[in-house]
Amino acid sequence: MTIIVTGGAGFIGSNFIFHMLEVYPEYRIVCLDKLTYAGNLSTLEKVKDNKNFRFVKADICDRQAVYKLFEEENPDIVVNFAAESHVDRSIETPEIFLQTNIIGTAVLMDACRKYGIKRYHQVSTDEVYGDLPLDRPDLFFTENTPLHTSSPYSSSKASADLLVLSYYRTFGLPVTISRCSNNYGPYHFPEKLIPLMVINALANKPLPVYGEGLNVRDWLYVEDHCRAIDLIIHNGRVGEVYNVGGHNEMSNIDIVKIICKTLGKPESLITYVSDRKGHDLRYAIDPEKIHKELGWLPETKFADGIQRTIKWYLENENWWKPIISGEYRNYYEKMYGKRE
């Protein structure tokens, strides 16, 4: 079995590669990644010498490069993690998100049609559903919830999902889609909430929180997500969408306070900044479908996962310290420096 994993040098993609090489040591895993700012080759250090692993630097929008790789590897399965994924960046420069998340998806599926595959899997997001009110804890996203996007990022992901389903209906391409809640865990890029707060707290820097920090997210430990995708690509029904949620709803401000307490830092570091445009209030997924059909349930409670994650960042400064210099530092200043 040969699996092409796009975006495999990023956060979730790299964790998925680690999972697959451990669970299926006989599989060949090929990582295709453009190595944008969020893709980090050092993330893949521990598997680079594995005889069943190959890394290829290329853009999923580059049709010639993608077709060449398909000819060389003849993949059985393609799992597409490659995406621009940060909402704030999508508000700054929407076009990049449309190009990678929509056009790149189309190129990959065209390659799948041309060279033949057993499964194309699209990794999507619960953000395609929009948001839920804070005062209705009884409401959850299901696979039948209408798409109702809030940002250029979520719009580009919803567009890609619709495109994937159209290739199934029109061309009979064997596809599946998973829509996950917010992931957290090792190798999470420092612009995201949890690693950003951990790293800033360690340096006794301000902890920038949007609005009053009351926005709620459903947090999913990345290893639980990888298990879900594993089950879907092997046993999921073709043409279906599966929601993958953690049953771990937490407000942003409560997460920041947990991080402060764990690291022994004062809550006075918390700095409230002007809210994000179109900021979604609450995400919450009902994962009943994947549980009933494939037997999946999240195994990691947030109380355990957040401690494991903080510990990882404490022990892996050599991974994140080089990242927070240069381009990222300039971006950080642009996003948060003038919004207090």
Catalytic residues: 126-127, 153
HEC letters along the chain: CEEEEECCCCHHHHHHHHHHHHHCCCCEEEEEECCCCCCCHHHHHHHCCCCCEEEEECCCCCHHHHHHHHHHHCCCEEEECCCCCCHHHHHHCHHHHHHHHHHHHHHHHHHHHHHCCCEEEEEEEHHHHCCECCCCCCCCECCCCCCCCCCHHHHHHHHHHHHHHHHHHHHCCCEEEEEECEEECCCCCCCCHHHHHHHHHHCCCCEEEECCCCCEEEEEEHHHHHHHHHHHHHHCCCCEEEEECCCCEEEHHHHHHHHHHHHCCCHHHEEEECCCCCCCCECCECCHHHHHHHCCCCCCCHHHHHHHHHHHHHHCHHHHCCCCCCHHHHHHHHHHCCCC
